[in-house]
Amino acid sequence: MRNIEIEELGATPITERKVEVVERKGLGHPDFICDSIMNQVSIELCKEYMERFGAIMHHNIDKGMLVAGEVKTKFGGGVILKPMRLIFGDRATFEVEGEIIDVNTIAIDAAKQWLKDNLRFVNSDSVQYQVELAHGSAELTDIFKRKDAILGANDTSAAVGYAPMTPTETLVLETERFLNSPDFKKRFPESGEDIKVMGLREKNELHLTIADPLVDRFIESEGGYFRKKDELLEEIKTYAAERTDLETSVYLNTLDREGRGMGGIYLTVTGTSAEDADSGQVGRGNRVNGIIPLNRPVSSEAAAGKNPVSHVGKIYNVLSHRIASEIYTNVPDIKEVYVWLLSQIGEPIDQPKIAAAQVIMERGSLEDVEKEVNEVIDGELANIQEFCMELAYGKIPVC
């Protein structure tokens, strides 16, 4: 029997509150780059471990940092003066029963491939790579040697997920994905990847403040920059207006000031501020559902890069959102639901210290839905091995 608790939450749903703030750090944001690459390293290591040994070995690639470089922007195309540096940190398994795993090469190759696939104007071969991965501690590594069908948790940690996403949360997420979509970049190649969307809903008014660096090779003058910016702004306004009933205002690159030359425009050589202005770090970006929802309780763990079979900082982070979504989708009369999972180090990950659901009812009473909510939670925990393998092979995004 699992320790499952269900309670009714006496709170106002987010959509009915006067103020809601939601952020999304996009594809080329330095924090997103760190999260994505370190998680991809974990995925590639999982594949290597599974192919060679039939099991996933101990690793946690969740202490990465992207150190900003230096560039000189110029109308028509600038130059890179100092390359970015990507630092890979924490732990991995380098040897299994005398067989060596080339962890460093796997990490660098994964990073280069991600950069090639996602950032059009970053030369992955010019980035500097610093691998600081080391062997894991004896006790945490031993978890993987115990041959348990379901591994024990490698930490005592808590996570929380929720459902559904609000219209504001959804629009913030989808706006960034739209601006970084292949179709949008084809129509507006000057739009960089380092897009950030900040959404503020005040009652029925939605304000979207967006940062989008323009790539200097496509901009011939200061006047040309502002003309392109106006085109982008109109495109975003149209997109947002078609997807919400809220009264929407859109603001783009609000630090800009005409007449100040390079000091008054958001111009980049590569499309990301990591080239010159802003370093990145794992765990400072989006939560596992793709946004930073400031009105919600959120987990403190960085999910990206952690191993997907024993590290509850990854598993429970993502699973709590999945369980919440399943409850909201399949159990009637629920307005909003929060799911909490707490592990105890060493105990099987399918047996959390507690799994708790807090529900806000649309109608009816908690007693009407308690049994169904319990069954959803119990069923998802029972299938945790399959869920972990989805994480291992990158089938579930974590940023």
pTM: 0.96
The DSSP line for 51-97 is HHHSSPPP-B----EEE--EEE--TT--EEEE--EEEEEEE---EET
Q: Which two tokens stand for residue 143?
A: 């978890």
Q: Is residue 89 part of a domain?
A: no
Please check whether residue 111 lies inside any domain of the structure.
Answer: no
**Would you say residue 126 lies in a domain?**
no
Residue 192 located in a structural domain: yes
Q: What is the pLDDT of residue 129?
A: 98
Q: What is the pLDDT of residues 121-140, one digit of tens each?
A: 999 999 999 999 999 876 67
pLDDT-derived band at 147, boundaries 50, 70, 90? confident
Query: 251 lies in a domain?
Result: yes
> How far apart are the C-alpha atoms of 84 and 269, rounded to whole Å?
13
pLDDT score of 114: 98
Q: Establish if 70 belongs to a structural domain.
A: no
Instruction: Tell me how far CA of residue 124 lies from CA of 29, 102, 129, in angstroms.
Output: 16, 20, 10
Position 110 pLDDT exceeds 80: yes
Compute the half-sphere exposure of residue 131: CA atoms within 13 Å on the CB side of its CA.
17
For residue 60, the cross-strand partners are 91, 306
Number of domains in the chain: 1
Give the pLDDT mean for 2-16. 97
**241 is a domain residue:** yes
What is the residue range of 227's domain?
16-26+167-281
**Tens digits of per-residue pLDDT, 302-358?**
999 999 999 999 999 999 999 999 999 999 999 999 999 999 999 999 999 999 999
C-alpha angle with apex 233: 227 to 239, nearest 5 degrees?
145
The 10s digit of each residue's pLDDT in 227-281 is 999 999 999 999 999 999 999 999 999 999 999 999 999 999 999 999 999 999 9
In this prediction, residue 205 carries a pLDDT of: 97
- For the cut 70, the answer to whether the pLDDT of residue 375 exceeds it is yes
**Joined tokens for residue 140:** 């945490």
Span 178-227, pLDDT tens digits: 999 999 999 999 999 999 999 999 999 999 999 999 999 999 999 999 99
**Per-residue model confidence (pLDDT) at position 382:** 98
- CATH number of the domain that 251 lies in? 3.30.300.340
Asked if residue 378 belongs to a domain, the reply is no
The whole-number pLDDT of residue 138 equals: 67
Residue 144 has a pLDDT of: 81
pLDDT digits (tens, 9 = 90+) for 35-68: 999 999 999 999 999 999 999 999 999 999 999 9
Q: What is the CA radius of gyration of the chain?
A: 23
CA distances from 327 to 135, 167, 380 (A): 40, 19, 10
Q: What is the mean pLDDT of residues 158-171?
A: 98
